[in-house]
Amino acid sequence: MDHSLSLQAVQSWFVILPDTEAAAPLARKAVSHATRSLHHASGRPWIVGRWAPEAMVVGEHEGTRVAVTGEHAVTARDAERAAAAVTRARSVTALDHAADWAGSFHLIASGGGQALVRGCAVGLRRVFHTKTAPPGSTAVGMACDRADILAELVDAELDERRIALEMLTLGAPYPWAGDPLWRGLHALPGGHRLTLLPDGRARITRWWSPPDPVVPLAEGAVRLREALVEAVQVRTRGRGLVTSDLGGLDSTAVYCAAVRGDAKVVAYTAALHDEAGDDVHWAGRTVRALDGVEHHVVPAGDVAMTFDGIDTLDDILDTPSILTVDRNRRMGIVEMAAARGSALHLTGLGGDELLAGTPARLHALALSHPLVALRSARGYAAKYQWSRRGVLRQLVDRRSYRAWVERVARDLTEPPVAADEPLLDWAVPPRMPPWATADAVAAARELLRTGRSAVEPRGRGHGEHRELVAMDGISQWTRHIGQMAAPLGITVSAPYYDARVIEAALAVRPRERITPWRYKPLIVEAMRGIVPEASRTRGTKANATLEEEVGLREHRSALLALCEDSRLARLGLADERVLREWCRRALSAETESYLLHPTIACEVWLRSREMTPRPADGKCGER
C-alpha cells in the first residue's frame, strides 16, 4: 500500500531547514515542490514550502531573520524589532519576550547559525520534526508544520504500530495523542520550541508554562475579557466581512466581541433535531438584543447527521481525526460561510475545556481547601450521579501518571469503564475496541510500555493535566477543520486557543472558575457589557446525541462500505467480520457507537492516502 502523498497536493505547508550545507539535498527536494522559499543570511534555504505571499511576515536585522505565519496583527516592522532584540541578545530564545504578540501563529527565526521554530501553547499549530541523513551527507534535523509533508521529504515509512494505538476507543493518551504515524518523526509538545543547530543536533526547550492559579474571579474576568476581545480584534481588524458561529455560550462571547469591531459579522446557528437543543432560542435572544445583524439559522433538516458521507471523504489530513465521523455536520456552516464570501470564520471551540474546566482539580483543592473540596465533591456527585464511594476512591488515589499509563497498558482489553464513573482520575482509561486483533493489542501495549519511565503528566496535578490534554486534543480538531476548510479559501479561527486567552483563564483560582454550582462563571462575568444580558447568563449546553443515533441508522450502509476490504484489516489490525457485525447493530450513542469513532478515523485516513492527489496551483517565488 502506498501511503505517500504528493508534496504538490497540499495547498499550504512549510519546512524549516538548518543553516548547514549538509541540509542541501533535503532543501533541493523541498524546493522542487515548493512555490516559495526564504533564506538564512548565509544564502542557504531556511523556510521552503507553499503559502500565499501575505501569509508570511518577515523582518530582518543584521543577519537575524524572524518570520511569523498564522492569525496575528504583526507587521514587518514588528518582526524587524524582534530580530533586532535577538541580535542584541545573541540568542534566538530572546524571541520569548520580543515576540509576545496577540494571536495564534508559528514563530520562526534564523540567526547565529541557528534556526528556531515554535507553535502555540497547545496543539493547534503543530511542529513535527525529524533527524535524517541524506545519502552521502551527515545527519541533520528539520521541521515542518505537517507530518505528511515531512514524511515524504525524508521517505519515512508508516509505523503500523502507531495506527493500532490510534484505534483506542478514547484515542491515544498523552503524550502519544497526535503523534505522527511515520517512523522517525516526532511532534513538538505544546509550549516548547525547537532549535536546529548547524552540527545536525536539535534542541527542545520550553517557552510557555501555565500560570499559577491564584487570581480572584473578578480580576480574572477583566483579564479574560481584555484578552478575548484583543484576540478577536486581531483577526477581524481591516476585514470587510467575517462570519461566526452563534451557538453556545462560548461562541456567543466570540461573536459579540467581533461585532464590536468595524467588520460586518454574519452569524450562523445550526438547529438540532433534538427538541431539547436550545441554541436557536438563545441565538435569537442575542440577535434581537443587538438589533440589525445578519443571522442565518440552518434548519435541522439541512444539517448533516453523524456518519454522513464517511465512505466518500477525501480530505488530506496529516493525522487521523475522530472529527471524521462528524465532518459533514461540522463543515456545513463553514461551507456556507465561504459561499457568503467570508475568508474568516470564528468559532467557540476551546471554550469548554478552558472555561468549564474539570472536576479533577479537586485533587489539589482537597490539599489546600479541604472543606471547599468536600462541598464541591458532594455537588459533583449529585449533579452527575456519581457514587460518593467512587469519588472518594479517586480523590485519595495518589498514584503517578506513569502508574496510570501502566494500568491502561495492562487493561486494554477490559470492558470500558462505567458511564457514571467519576472524572477525577488522570483520564478516562481507553480500551481497544472489540474488533481489534491480538496483533493490534500487542502493538498498542508495547508502545505504551516502551519508555514509560520517562512519561510525565502534561500539567501539575490531575486537574491541570486533564485541562491541557483536553485543549491539545480539541485544538487538533480545530486544526483538522482548518485543513478541511483550506480548499474553500477560508480560515476557521478559534481565539480561545491563543496563549494570552489561555493564560488569563488558567490564572483564575480553580475553586472559583470550576464549580458544580454555576455554569462557566468566568466567561459569564467576563462578558458583562459585551454579551447582551438576555443571553449572558445562559446555563445550558446542547448536545448532538440524537444526531449520532439517527445518523447511525441512516448511514449504516456507508459504515458497512468501510468494512469492505478494510485497510485496517489488511494491516492485520482489525477483524473485518467483527467490525461488520458491530456496524450492523443498533448502538447507544452514549455507551457504544463512540467506540467506532477512532477506528473510522483511521480507516478513512488510510484510504485518503491512496487517492490521486489534487495539485495546488502556484508559482515559485523567492526572497
pLDDT digits (tens, 9 = 90+) for 503-533: 999 999 999 999 999 999 999 999 999 999 9
Percent of the chain with pLDDT over 90: 84
pLDDT in tens, 379-427: 999 999 999 999 999 999 999 999 999 999 999 999 999 989 999 999 9
Q: What is the mean pLDDT of residues 310-319?
A: 92
In which band, very low, low, confident or very high, does the pLDDT at 189 lie, cut at 50, 70 and 90?
very high
Residue 62 has pLDDT above 60, yes or no: yes
Would the pLDDT of 193 be above 70? yes
Residue 262 has pLDDT above 50, yes or no: yes
pLDDT on residue 618: 40
pLDDT higher for 342 or 623? 342
Whether 299 has a pLDDT exceeding 80, the answer reads: yes
Task: Give the neighbor-by-neighbor strand order of the sheet with 186-187.
Answer: 186-187, 128-132, 140-144, 13-16, 45-50, 36-39, 621-622
Q: Which region, left, alpha or beta, applies to residue 135 given φ > 0 means left and ψ of -120 to 50 means alpha?
A: beta
The CATH superfamily assigned to 13-208 is: Aminohydrolase, N-terminal nucleophile (Ntn) domain (3.60.20.10)
Answer whether residue 605 shows pLDDT above 60.
yes
Cα-to-chain-centroid distance, residue 493? 12
Task: Determine contact, residues 591/419, Cβ cutoff 8 Å.
Answer: yes
Q: What is the mean pLDDT of residues 592-598?
A: 91
- pLDDT above 60 for 614: no
In the block, cell 500500500 appears at: 1
Taking residues 235-255, what's their average pLDDT? 96
Task: Give me the pLDDT at residue 107, please.
Answer: 97
Q: Does domain 217-355+465-543 have CATH number 3.20.20.70?
A: no
pLDDT in tens, 22-47: 999 999 999 999 999 999 999 999 99
pLDDT band at 137 (very low <50, low <70, confident <90, very high): confident
**Which residue, among 458, 456, 470, has the nearest Cα to 514 in the 3D structure?**
470
pLDDT over threshold 60, residue 617:
no
Q: What is the overall mean pLDDT for the chain?
A: 92
Instruction: Domain ranges for the chain, please list them.
Output: 13-208, 217-355+465-543, 366-463, 546-608
Distance CA 497, CA 503 (A): 10
DSSP labels for 144-193? ES-HHHHHHHTTPPB-HHHHHHHTSTT-PPTTTTT--SBTT-EEPPTTEE
Rounded average pLDDT over 490-497: 97
Backbone angles phi, psi at 239, to 5 degrees: -95, 145
Q: How confident is the model at residue 10, as a pLDDT?
A: 86
Please report the pLDDT score of residue 187 as a whole number.
96
Between the two ends of the chain, the Cα-to-Cα distance in Å is 38
- Predicted confidence at residue 619, as pLDDT, reads 38
Question: Is pLDDT of 300 > 50?
Answer: yes
Q: Which residues pair with 58 in a beta bridge?
A: 67
Q: Which residues of 221-230 are buried (b: 16+ CB within 10 A; e: fewer)?
A: bebbbebbbb
Confidence of residue 132 (pLDDT cuts 50, 70, 90): confident
User: Does the pLDDT at position 320 exceed 70?
Assistant: yes
Which DSSP symbol is given to 215? B
Tell me what pLDDT residue 91 has.
Answer: 82
| Per-residue confidence (pLDDT) for residue 559, from 0 to 100 | 93
125/331 Cα distance (integer angstroms) = 20
Beta carbons of 355 and 250 less than 8 angstroms apart:
yes
d(C-alpha 23, C-alpha 26), whole Å: 5
Supply the pLDDT for residue 3: 44
- How far apart are alpha carbons 131 and 238 in whole angstroms? 41
| pLDDT above 80: residue 541 | no
In the structure, what pLDDT confidence band is assigned to residue 2 with cuts at 50, 70 and 90? Answer: very low
pLDDT of 454 strictly over 70: yes
